[in-house]
Amino acid sequence: MYNHYNHTYNAIKRKYEFCAKNNLELINWQNSLKKSLSKLLGLENIKFDLNNHEPSFEMHKSDDMGDYIREEWKMLTEPSVLLPFYVLRPKGQNNKLPLALTPHGHNHPHVYVGIANNPEEEKQIIEDEFDIACQTVKEGYLTIAPTTRAFGKTRTTIDQKNKQLSSCRSLLMQTLLIGRTPIGERVWDISRLIDWAINNQNIDSKRIAIVGNSGGATVALHAAACDNRISAVVASCYFCTYKGSIGSIYHCDCNYIPNILRIAEMYEIAGLIAPRPFLAIAGKKDMIFPIDQVQYAFNKLQEVYNVTNLSNNCKLHIGEGGHRHYKSAALNFIEKHFSSIEN
């Protein structure tokens, strides 16, 4: 079966295979691909379904963490979807703050804000550096750490009762039946949080970063491809090829976008981010995102950035370990690019 689909993948001609030679061709390519991606993700259907809905927000708790404040919020992102998220605020900051969004991967939402409820989560925070929201707030960013749909309190009742990590399979089945996708709904939520932050928080709209690891990087990459307000992107232990990872190695159901390889490979989707700064982080020993496929995808993405004459905005950091986060690379990359933005 693997040989059959590998042959099929290679035989399919992608509609938006990258071939732009100048900036005008690049812009036209991006505009066309972005429209097709929006349809595949179900974003057009979500927009239509929620045409008369305005998300509402409510804070439920605030804790002083010493050098920052941690708040617990909820967003009514759809009339029947109450999405929890954390806001981490640096203390002693009066100027407009850069914003960091830190969507989590296939772990519990509280891990990203440094809360460990058991030894395994403590290991994720210490050894795998998964407390990404804590990392960014300590660097002076107003940080939003959202619950990814199908995780935390957005899991089905039965999955919460059975202590299942996620309800991704249920989400996939339900979204496909109505022309949506899990990734599309998660991208939608990120954009609504950006709306709220710009309109209601003291942030610098020129400095909006998104940082995610694994499933959080899935959200980060696709959100930035669809929302140009995101000005810097770090995708940790996800950026690869669909064919060489998502389509050939076991992954969670939520990763799949129907028909995606008929329009573009992952490096072409990431090409929608160009010329904005994009950092791919990979683990040399990551078994589910093979390093040879990561390197191949990065080389192809560099071809897109080369057309923009801003090839230095596209970087790859390869860590010595496996499927984890590498915080120093992420923080240094964002700070470098944000410091160069004129006020």
What DSSP assignment string belongs to 218-282?
Answer: HHHHHHHHH-TT--EEEEES--S-IIIIITTS---GGG--TTHHHH--HHHHHTTSTTS-EEEEE
Q: Which two tokens stand for residue 74?
A: 């909820």
Region 172-177 average pLDDT: 97
- For the segment(s) 2-339, the CATH number from 3.40.50.2300, 3.40.50.1820, 3.40.50.880, 3.40.950.10 is 3.40.50.1820
Would the pTM of this model clear 0.95, i.e. be above it?
yes
From its phi and psi, is residue 150 left (phi > 0), alpha (psi between -120 and 50) or beta? left
Give the integer Cα–Cα distance in Å for 264 and 327.
29
pLDDT digits (tens, 9 = 90+) for 81-92: 999 999 999 998
Residue 1's pLDDT is: 64
Residue 11's pLDDT is: 87
To the nearest whole number, what is the mean pLDDT of the chain? 96
Residue 253's pLDDT is: 96
pLDDT digits (tens, 9 = 90+) for 35-47: 999 999 999 999 9
Give the integer Cα–Cα distance in Å for 140 and 67.
10
pLDDT digits (tens, 9 = 90+) for 273-308: 999 999 999 999 999 999 999 999 999 999 999 999
Give the integer Cα–Cα distance in Å for 20 and 17.
9
Asked whether residue 199 carries a pLDDT value surpassing 90, the answer given is yes
From its phi and psi, is residue 92 left (phi > 0), alpha (psi between -120 and 50) or beta? left
pLDDT-wise least confident of 7-11, 157-161, 289-293: 7-11
pLDDT digits (tens, 9 = 90+) for 88-119: 999 987 789 999 999 999 999 999 999 999 99
Furthest C-alpha separation in the chain: 59
pLDDT digits (tens, 9 = 90+) for 202-212: 999 999 999 99
